[in-house]
Amino acid sequence: MAISNKVEYGFAESPFGTIIVARTWDGVCDLQFLDHNRLETIHELAQRWGEYTPTTQSNTMAETVERAIFEGYDHPVPLDVKGTDFQKRVWHELRNIPIGTTVSYQEVAKRIGKPKAVRAVATAIGQNPVAMLIPCHRVVHADGTVGEYHWGCKLKKRLIEWEKQQVQKP
C-alpha cells in the first residue's frame, strides 16, 4: 500500500473543545470538533478514508494544527481534501474570506461564477472535511443569520465572534 494512503490522526484541545485532526502524507484530510464519542469519530474517519486504511495516532501533529488555527502559530498547513471539482472551487473560495468577516452563500456562488447555484454551494460547504482550515463557518445567510453548521449554530456564532476579537487585538 502506498504511503499516501496512511492516515495519521490525533487529538488536541482548542478554545472550543477537543478537535480530531487527520492527515495523509500530502496534508490534512480531516478536522472535526468532537461533539461525541472519540471511537465513533475514528470509525467515521475510517469509513471516509477506507476501512483498511492503516492509521497511527499523533497528538503532536494535531497540536501543531491547533496552534496554527487558534494561536496564530506561523506554520503552513497543507491540505489533502477529496471532493468534486465544484466542491474544490467552493472550498478554495472559502479560504479567501478574511478572518473576522462573513459572506453570504449567494456571494460565494457569485464569486465562483455560479450565481444561481446557491443550494449547490451550501451543500458543498456542508461537506467541507476540514473545519477551520477551510473556514465554512464564515458563510452566513444573506439576512445575517448564521444558518446551519455541522457542530451547531451556537458553535458557529462563537467561532465568528472569536475571530472578530482576534482581528481587533493589537
One digit per residue, the tens of pLDDT, for the chain of length 170 reads: 334 467 888 889 999 998 989 888 899 999 988 866 666 776 777 777 665 566 677 888 888 898 888 887 777 789 999 999 999 999 999 999 999 999 999 999 999 999 999 999 999 999 999 999 999 999 999 999 998 898 889 999 999 999 999 988 77
For residue 5, give the amino acid letter: N
Q: Look up the domain containing 27 and give its range.
A: 7-71
Is residue 131 included in any domain, yes or no?
yes
Domains held by the chain: number: 2
Is residue 79 included in any domain, yes or no?
no
> What is the value of pTM for the model shown?
0.86
Judge if 97 and 25 occupy the same domain. Answer: no
Alpha-carbon dihedral sign for residues 13, 16, 17, 18: negative
Last residue of one domain, picked from the residues 28, 46, 71:
71
What count of other Cβ atoms lies within 10 Å of the Cβ of residue 116?
9
Active-site residues, by number, are 136
* Contact of 37 with 26, CB cutoff 8 Å: no
Place of cell 457542530: 151
Please state whether beta strands 55-57 and 103-104 pair in parallel, antiparallel, or not at all (unpaired): unpaired
